[in-house]
A and B are shown apart, each in its own frame.
Chain A
């Protein structure tokens, strides 16, 4: 028992555990951060690992100090003063590795573990998958164990007790964590402006459409959002998930400008069919939301614009869930500004296009007929729907319509809109998604990036803004069936799920649906729990406003802690071990004839007392006593003790 304080040198065991934690903490960042930072931190960690074997390589502070300054400058040079997700994660993993390199004392271990806890949450800023969450729980447990080993100063992991204790602490912390998670008042929006790094490498529909871009998305299996319908969903061919509306084009690409005029009421001639549904939107770092056709109302913290887009004030950087009602009604009003914007022809509109449009218009009596003429043109001419169209030059619409005639939905929509405008029909492009996969297991629709689609809305006098999908005229199977992504990826060309899968394919599909279902509940239950969902969820329980949340947060936490105290202090009185149990029952057995064992007596004393009363028992009691002492205090097995007690009891019966 030597004197031991916080200044003690760390044990190799806690250092080893710490190193394992260090490597495991850097690992999830490999895909997220710049490789130089990963390499630096892994190198520092490896250095520390080497010093386990060769302690002479432990750096002294004259080496560590310049190294730290150098690394700090390196980070500063890379990120400047903008301290966002990438910069802070890089800084933290380098800091963790540096601190580990410097780790000598017991309190250094504590500091390193604390940094480790912070590093633990940084990968979630990039990806919040369920796998990563489970992985992080394991590291969390390991960090707790490291603290525990460090505090107790154990040199080996022989005893399982400490591991069990850290697991117990973790399990008992979960209810309190849930109370905090559910009731801690959530705020909307960042506390300070986030640097733009948060939107790096997010695939999805962006604020410009150029013909090649949507076809890139067609090969992405990433989930854009998921939807559950209350009641019957519409048919597959009517699942048009409407996103941003585009008016402006330079003849090559379309640019999203947004529309901040709020919407008026929808008008409808016949009673519209309404659909109610909930969308779990993945963070797409854009300001718009998707809805089925035209939404009837806005959702919390959003605006509904004049052209019926749901718009957020900030880019969406988190999972968001919202419930909407949509109908197939349309908007008949056309304001002057909108009319101007939706008739504006790009400067490079060729004479060919103008004369083709003129041709359509001359041969039809009204606008609807003109639209149909144009669709028929696509259908009857040898247009071809493909993922790999030939490259187009300076005037893509003209080249596509009259030369290549091969294209993807964006080519058709773009050319069609220009044709309509040339025929003096107001037209605009809508980007969004079409269709989706119905996961029968989880009962939800999954809309993938591969379902990205572009279509057109034209304004007709009688029906107002009307959806026209030129792609449907060329490739109706695109609209009628969901995209077969696996096939599409293999062939590199558009493929649809026309026949039902069978055999192994059916099995893999089921497995995929199961994983998607788990992910869906993860997304909708855990990740989408933000300010809006919290308010809605707690409202059901009668908790309104943040003061109420704080109040109940306090009440529940204290209540749980009291319960835990009661459980820990009053529940388990220690159970005697097996040998003790057998001995106690044996003594009880003896007490019937020879008097009870007094609490102050040892077993040997009691047996001596019994022997005095009946000397015949001397030998067998001696054996029992010896066996008991051997197995309880020595290293002997419990079996001989059991046997001797059993033999004694049997002989007692014989005596009778």
Chain B
């Protein structure tokens, strides 16, 4: 997408980058900027002193080496640019996380010009990662740990790629923004309240009988994705018979009903946090559970997909 005239010369483009995008960004003349680093400015001063000395003594060799140094510094800036140019960077969908945990922002960095790259730094907020060496045509996935401050969608700020290569005299940088978000679930509550289990035969919404999942063993079946690990028949697995799951049937055919009103927490965040904890617990125990919060409600169900749906609803609750 070509830039408009004011866009092209806005200061934001040099510091924060262009509009966020979901697609891969190719680093090129438009994206890479280069200016002398602090060391580069110090060298300029050294070159000036060398020049004064050469003029003072009218020394031909002094002139030659002074100009050689200045020229080498200038030439090095092109290699600084080339070190970043031609990289393709794309933000990859990252796994959701719980608030308070670390999330990992993932970037795919692809070298496609068949040149070796050196010492590229990637900055996100106050985190700086370094790729010391990238081989020709190598593709790597870089994970930057981030700590989201609130639940919901976390979107990264400007990610700056920069490099002092080759001589530390110039800083080439490229500010990038990606439209790739990380889903942040509420923090699971720390107080381990028991799951609210409701018996089917009892009238809906009446008393809430709390029972621990006292289930009866019912046999084995093959492992399916999303089954809780604690039910894997480890003995069979160790014997090399394959992955089997112990099946239980609850004689009561209980169902967990996670309800906004069933939480006794004080505020919304604590309620969400409690519900979050219950969703995880119910999934771990292999129970069927329903979720009802003011913005949305899910019928009783099991499995990883159901859990993710519920957690997402909790994360995005407003």
Residues of chain A touching chain B, judged by Cβ–Cβ distance below 8 Å, are: 1-6, 85, 88, 107, 110-111, 114, 117-118, 120-121, 124-125, 128, 132-133, 136, 140, 144, 147-148, 150-154, 161-162, 165-166, 169-170, 172-177, 180-181, 184, 186-192, 194, 198, 317-319, 526-531, 561, 564-565, 568-569, 574-576
Of B60, B113, B115, B119, the most chain A CB neighbours within 10 A belong to B60
Q: Is the CB of A180 within 8 A of B57?
A: no
* A85 CA / B59 CA spacing, docked (Å): 12
B304 within 8 A of A: no
Known: A117-B46, A150-B168. A174 touches B68 (CB 8 A): yes
B118 within 8 A of A: yes
Q: Which of B49, B61, B165 interacts with A527 by CB under 8 Å?
A: B61
* A114 CA / B53 CA spacing, docked (Å): 15
Q: Is the CB of A177 within 8 A of B59?
A: no
* A147 CA / B82 CA spacing, docked (Å): 18
Known: A1-B129, A165-B79. A318 touches B72 (CB 8 A): no
Q: Is the CB of A568 within 8 A of B166?
A: no
Stretch from B131-139, B173-181, B264-272, B305-313 that touches the partner: B131-139
Q: Is the CB of A186 within 8 A of B75?
A: no
Known: A3-B127, A118-B49. A147 touches B168 (CB 8 A): yes
Contact with A along B65-79 (1 / 0, CB 8 A): 111111110111011
Q: Is the CB of A117 within 8 A of B39?
A: no
Extra contacts, 13 of them, besides A5-B128, A176-B71 (Cβ < 8 A), are A4-B121, A6-B164, A117-B69, A121-B61, A121-B65, A125-B59, A152-B118, A169-B166, A190-B57, A191-B56, A319-B60, A561-B74, A565-B78
* A150 CA / B167 CA spacing, docked (Å): 8
Residues of chain B touching chain A, judged by Cβ–Cβ distance below 8 Å, are: 39, 42-43, 46, 49-50, 52-72, 74-76, 78-79, 82, 85, 113-116, 118-119, 121, 127-133, 136, 142, 164-168
Q: Is the CB of A148 within 8 A of B74?
A: no
Known: A85-B57, A151-B164, A561-B74. A114 touches B43 (CB 8 A): yes
Q: Is the CB of A110 within 8 A of B132?
A: no
* A154 CA / B43 CA spacing, docked (Å): 23
Q: Is the CB of B64 within 8 A of A177?
A: yes
Distance (Å) between the CB of A527 and the closest chain B CB?
5
Of A153, A170, A180, the most chain B CB neighbours within 10 A belong to A180
Q: Which residues of B contact A190 (CB under 8 A)?
A: 56-58
Question: CB-nearest residue of chain A relative to B80?
Answer: A151
Can you list 19 contacts pairing A with B, beta carbon distance less than 8 Å? A2-B130, A4-B121, A5-B121, A117-B69, A121-B61, A136-B61, A140-B69, A148-B166, A151-B118, A165-B166, A175-B71, A177-B70, A180-B67, A188-B58, A189-B58, A190-B57, A198-B57, A528-B60, A568-B78
Q: Which residues of B contact A136 (CB under 8 A)?
A: 61, 65
Q: Is the CB of B60 within 8 A of A128?
A: yes
Q: Which residues of A contact B116 (CB under 8 A)?
A: 161
Q: Which residues of B contact A568 (CB under 8 A)?
A: 78-79, 82
Known: A4-B128, A564-B78. A186 touches B57 (CB 8 A): no
Q: Which residues of A contact B50 (CB under 8 A)?
A: 117-118, 121
Question: CB-nearest residue of chain A relative to B133?
Answer: A152
Q: Is the CB of A173 within 8 A of B136?
A: no
Q: Which residues of B contact A174 (CB under 8 A)?
A: 68, 71
Of A120, A177, A184, A187, the most chain B CB neighbours within 10 A belong to A177
Q: Is the CB of A530 within 8 A of B74?
A: no
User: Top 3 nearest A-B pairs by Cβ distance?
Assistant: A574-B114, A180-B67, A176-B71
Question: CB-nearest residue of chain B relative to A107?
Answer: B39
* A118 CA / B46 CA spacing, docked (Å): 7
Q: Which residues of B contact A526 (CB under 8 A)?
A: 60-61, 64
Distance (Å) between the CB of A599 and the closest chain B CB?
13
Q: Which residues of B contact A151 (CB under 8 A)?
A: 118-119, 164-168
Q: Which of B46, B75, B113, B167 interacts with A176 by CB under 8 Å?
A: B75
Q: Is the CB of A169 within 8 A of B72?
A: yes
A-B contact count (CB 8 A): 180
Q: Is the CB of B166 within 8 A of A133?
A: no
* A612 CA / B280 CA spacing, docked (Å): 48
Q: Is the CB of B136 within 8 A of A574?
A: yes
Distance (Å) between the CB of B132 and the closest chain A CB?
6
Q: Which of A4, A85, A147 interacts with B130 by CB under 8 Å?
A: A4
* A117 CA / B43 CA spacing, docked (Å): 10
* A526 CA / B130 CA spacing, docked (Å): 45
Known: A121-B50, A152-B165. A317 touches B72 (CB 8 A): no
* A191 CA / B168 CA spacing, docked (Å): 32
Distance (Å) between the CB of A563 and the closest chain B CB?
11
Q: Which residues of A contact B115 (CB under 8 A)?
A: 574
* A120 CA / B46 CA spacing, docked (Å): 12
* A565 CA / B85 CA spacing, docked (Å): 13
Distance (Å) between the CB of B73 and the closest chain A CB?
8
Q: Is the CB of A527 within 8 A of B56?
A: no
Q: Which residues of A contact B62 (CB under 8 A)?
A: 121, 124-125
Of A107, A181, A531, the most chain B CB neighbours within 10 A belong to A181
Distance (Å) between the CB of A644 and the closest chain B CB?
23
Q: Which of A3, A107, A161, A529 interacts with B60 by CB under 8 Å?
A: A529
Q: Is the CB of B56 within 8 A of A173?
A: no
Question: CB-nearest residue of chain A relative to B115?
Answer: A574
* A453 CA / B115 CA spacing, docked (Å): 66
Known: A3-B127, A169-B75, A574-B113. A148 touches B46 (CB 8 A): no
Known: A187-B55, A191-B55, A529-B60. A153 touches B132 (CB 8 A): yes
Q: Is the CB of A3 within 8 A of B129?
A: yes
Question: CB-nearest residue of chain B relative to A4?
Answer: B130
Distance (Å) between the CB of A393 and the closest chain B CB?
43
Q: Is the CB of A530 within 8 A of B58?
A: yes
Known: A173-B71, A180-B71, A574-B115. A110 touches B39 (CB 8 A): yes
Q: Is the CB of B164 within 8 A of A172?
A: no
Distance (Å) between the CB of A107 and the closest chain B CB?
7
Q: Which residues of A contact B64 (CB under 8 A)?
A: 133, 177, 181, 526
Q: Which residues of B contact A152 (CB under 8 A)?
A: 118-119, 132-133, 165-166
* A317 CA / B62 CA spacing, docked (Å): 14
Question: CB-nearest residue of chain B relative to A109?
Answer: B168
Q: Is the CB of A148 within 8 A of B52?
A: no
Q: Which of B43, B58, B74, B168 interacts with A173 by CB under 8 Å?
A: B74
Known: A1-B131, A117-B69, A176-B71. A124 touches B59 (CB 8 A): yes
* A114 CA / B167 CA spacing, docked (Å): 11
* A177 CA / B136 CA spacing, docked (Å): 32
Question: CB-nearest residue of chain B relative to A127?
Answer: B61
Q: Which residues of B contact A166 (CB under 8 A)?
A: 166
* A653 CA / B164 CA spacing, docked (Å): 55
Distance (Å) between the CB of B209 and the closest chain A CB?
53
Known: A1-B132, A574-B136. A140 touches B60 (CB 8 A): no
Q: Which residues of B contact A173 (CB under 8 A)?
A: 68, 71-72, 74-75
Question: CB-nearest residue of chain B relative to A110?
Answer: B39
Q: Is the CB of B75 within 8 A of A564?
A: yes
Distance (Å) between the CB of A165 and the closest chain B CB?
6
Q: Which residues of B contact A147 (CB under 8 A)?
A: 166-168
Question: CB-nearest residue of chain B relative to A5?
Answer: B128
Q: Which residues of B contact A165 (CB under 8 A)?
A: 79, 166
Question: CB-nearest residue of chain B relative to A132?
Answer: B61
Distance (Å) between the CB of A635 and the closest chain B CB?
14
Distance (Å) between the CB of B64 and the closest chain A CB?
6
Q: Is the CB of B119 within 8 A of A153?
A: yes
